[in-house]
C-alpha cells in the first residue's frame, strides 16, 4: 500500500514535530516537515507529495511564494491551511482535503 505523502510547513520546530507525529500515527499517511521556504521547496522537489499543509505563522509573502512554486511544479497539488486545534481537527482537515 502506498502512503499519501504530506508536506508540512511550520515555522516552529516543536509544533512541526508534533504535527508530523500526529499525521504519521495514521498508517495511510507519511508526513515530512520543513521550517524554511528553502527546505520546503527542496522537499517538495524530492518527493511525490499529494498534499501540502501550511501551519500558522507563515508570512503572507512566503505563503504566496510557496503556492506559486508548488502549483507551477504540480498544478494538481492540494494546499491547505492548518490553524491548530488538536489531532481530531488535523485529521479532519487532511481527510477533507484528500477527498
Query: Which three cell numbers mark 17?
Result: 514535530
Q: Provide the pLDDT for residue 56.
A: 75
pLDDT digits (tens, 9 = 90+) for 46-88: 999 999 999 878 999 999 999 999 999 999 999 998 877 666 7
CATH superfamily of 8-98: Response regulator (3.40.50.2300)
- How far apart are alpha carbons 72 and 93 in whole angstroms? 23
% of residues, the chain, pLDDT over 90: 76
Residue 9 has pLDDT above 90, yes or no: yes
Q: Say whether pLDDT at 1 is over 70.
A: no
pLDDT at 35: 96
Contacts of 65 (CB under 8 A, 6+ apart): 37
Kindly report the pTM of this predicted structure.
0.92
Q: What is the 3-state secondary structure (H, E, C) of the chain?
A: CCCEEEEEECCCHHHHHHHHHHHHCCCCEEEEEECCHHHHHHHHHHCCCCEEEEECCCCHHHHHHHHHHHHHHCCCCEEEEECCCCHHHHHHHHHHHHC
Cell numbers describing residue 93: 482537515
Amino acid at each position: 500500500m502506498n502512503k499519501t505523502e504530506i508536506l508540512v510547513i511550520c515555522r516552529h520546530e516543536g509544533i512541526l514535530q508534533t504535527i508530523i507525529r500526529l499525521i504519521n500515527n495514521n498508517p495511510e499517511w507519511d508526513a515530512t516537515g520543513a521550517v524554511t521556504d528553502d527546505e520546503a521547496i527542496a522537499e517538495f522537489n524530492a518527493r511525490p507529495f499529494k498534499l501540502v499543509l501550511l501551519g500558522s505563522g507563515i508570512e503572507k509573502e512566503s505563503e504566496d511564494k510557496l503556492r506559486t512554486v508548488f502549483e507551477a511544479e504540480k498544478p494538481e497539488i492540494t494546499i491547505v491551511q492548518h490553524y491548530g486545534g488538536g489531532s481530531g481537527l488535523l485529521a479532519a482537515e487532511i481527510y477533507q482535503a484528500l477527498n
